[in-house]
Amino acid sequence: MSRSKEKYLIGIDPDVDKSGVAFLNANQLQLDNLTFFELFDYFKEKKSQFPELEVYVECGFLNKSNWHKRHDRSAAFNSKIGEHTGANFETAKKIVEMCEYLKITHYKVKPTQHKISNNYFKEITGFTGRTNQEQRDAFMLIYGR
């Protein structure tokens, strides 16, 4: 009977400024927020340590509709929402491109889950440190895989 390989998983919640990052294996859960170029260095380091690494990137652009208009707000406000959403989509595409460049196994994940609270996160993980929404979202991309 063969022993199953240990999994080394990274979840990425892309953001223009700092993406949420969750690293998970059998022994540890690490959470972080990294800039685009910090993420590049992070991937290189993790790939050298764990060649069987798998990366899961949240790709909002996979959703059919991405209309986030607020009817009670101005056109300028709604324009900013669209600008920010588009910038995050481009960041996700560039992170996928980065994985391809570094030859890291990666998966584009269509966002379907709702946000989770810090209390629920701690309940399912046993994690005792501080977290933010981006880190929890990144973790949910790899939870149960």
Number of domains in the chain: 1
For residue 119, give Cα distances in angstroms to 24, 115, 131, 142: 19, 12, 10, 18
Residue 33 bridge partners (DSSP): 20
Whether 52 is covered by a domain: the verdict is yes
Whether 1 is covered by a domain: the verdict is no
Whether 2 is covered by a domain: the verdict is no
Q: What is the overall mean pLDDT for the chain?
A: 87
The CA distance from 57 to 55, in Å, is 6
pLDDT in tens, 91-126: 999 999 999 999 999 999 998 778 899 999 999 999
Whether 36 is covered by a domain: the verdict is yes
Whether 37 is covered by a domain: the verdict is yes
Q: Identify the H or E element spanning 54.
A: strand 54-58
CATH number of the domain enclosing 126: 3.30.420
pTM of the model: 0.85
Structural domain span for residue 80: 9-142
